[in-house]
Amino acid sequence: MTRWHVARLVKVRDENATARTLVFDVPGWPGHLAGQHVDVKLTAGDGYSARRSYSLAGPEGVELTVQRVPDGEVSPYLTLDMEPGDELELRGPVGGWFVWRPDGPAPVLLVAGGAGIVPLMAMIRARRAAGADTPFRLVYAVRSPERLCYADELLRPDPGVSVTLAYTRRVPEGHPRPPGRLTAADLGPYGEADCYVCGPTGFVEASAALLVGLGHDPARIRTERFGPTGD
Ligand SMILES: Cc1cc2nc3c(=O)[nH]c(=O)nc-3n(C[C@H](O)[C@H](O)[C@H](O)COP(=O)(O)OP(=O)(O)OC[C@H]3O[C@@H](n4cnc5c(N)ncnc54)[C@H](O)[C@@H]3O)c2cc1C
């Protein structure tokens, strides 16, 4: 098991009104692959501690993006209260299956629901950092335009990366797709690809079923569920 590190918050960036990116300085961090996550531990003065998992948002350094869950125990602290200079403990990197390596030659299909964009953004960033030309397609389901993370970066042209935004509840003016859950039409037509699906449990299960229905080999569909985590 990897050891706990003390991580000092050095920078925050609001992605939207409910999600924040936190950049940490972690002496001794061993490095990681795109798609891996960390376990974060917060400890109160009386010794009570809470642990949650958060995906690494980029290929280098320890950068997390946290979507605030109303009434949550940990995410409101990370997105509203924690300030540069504050410290927490984290352990990682964790996970060896839901990862993408820049030398992977197969085309990649990324399917994100809500905060599930975080490890998939790490894969897009890793591809760019490595100068890889693997074709990438991202389908990103998000409730409304206000909930988009990494909007500037995703809407900027990135050769070889195509981005489809699927708003589930409210679309911006002029958006061609009506609001609604992901359908096979959003994910298809079938083309050979390594698939990575990440988001809330129900979203991941429904999306993986759509991919299998389109003809994707289940052995090439990797999933990461962002259900509630903790001790
Ligand atoms: C491998 C992994 C990676 C993750 N990466 C990220 C990430 O990059 N960014 C991110 O924002 N989150 C991520 N999560 C989710 C994260 O670990 C927490 O579950 C989330 O931040 C809520 O914690 P909390 O303490 O604020 O809420 P809690 O106190 O745990 O929960 C409060 C209430 O909200 C419900 N709830 C908890 N989590 C969710 C959820 N995800 N969606 C809807 N309702 C929920 C609970 O059932 C409960 O009713 C990841 C989870 C896993 C398993």
CA of 173 to the centre of ligand 1 (A): 31
Which ligand 1 atom sits nearest the alpha carbon of residue 64? Answer: 8
Q: Give the strand pairing for 221-225 and 194-199.
A: parallel
Q: What is the CATH number of domain 5-94?
A: 2.40.30.10
Which of 54, 56, 67 to mutate to test ligand 1, by most ligand atoms within 8 A of the CB atom? 54
Q: What DSSP element (H or E) covers 156? A: none
Q: Which CATH number is correct for 108-225, 3.40.50.80, 2.60.40.420, 3.40.50.150, 3.90.1640.30?
A: 3.40.50.80
Note the pLDDT of residue 231.
47
Distance of CA 230 from the midpoint of ligand 1 (Å) = 9
Q: Can you tell me which atom of ligand 1 is nearest the CA of 55?
A: 8
User: CATH 2.40.30.10 occupies which residues in the chain?
Assistant: 5-94
| Torsion sign across C-alpha atoms 129, 130, 133, 136 | negative
- At residue 229, the pLDDT reads 60
Query: The whole model's pTM is what?
Result: 0.96
According to CATH, where is 3.40.50.80 located in the chain?
A: 108-225
Residue nearest to atom 17 of ligand 1 (CA): 53
pLDDT in tens, 175-218: 999 999 999 999 988 889 999 999 999 999 999 999 999 999 99
94 CB-contact burial (10 Å; exposed 0-12 / middle 13-18 / buried 19+):
middle
Measure the CA–CA gap between 183 and 166, rounded to whole angstroms. 10
- pLDDT tens for the chain, 231 residues long, are 689 999 999 999 999 999 999 999 999 999 999 999 999 999 988 999 999 999 999 999 999 999 999 999 999 999 999 999 999 999 999 999 999 999 988 999 999 999 999 999 999 999 999 999 999 999 999 999 999 999 999 999 999 999 999 999 999 999 999 999 999 999 988 889 999 999 999 999 999 999 999 999 999 999 999 976 654
- Distance, CA of 201 to chain centre: 14
- Ligand 1, atom 53: closest residue by C-alpha: 226
- Within 6 A (CB) of ligand 1 lie 37, 52-55, 65-67, 69, 71-75, 115, 118, 200, 224, 226, 228-230
Burial of 50 (0-12, 13-18, 19+ CB in 10 A): middle
Which residue's C-alpha comes closest to atom 13 of ligand 1?
A: 54
What spacing in Å lies between the alpha carbon of 226 and ligand 1's midpoint? 6
Length of the chain: 231
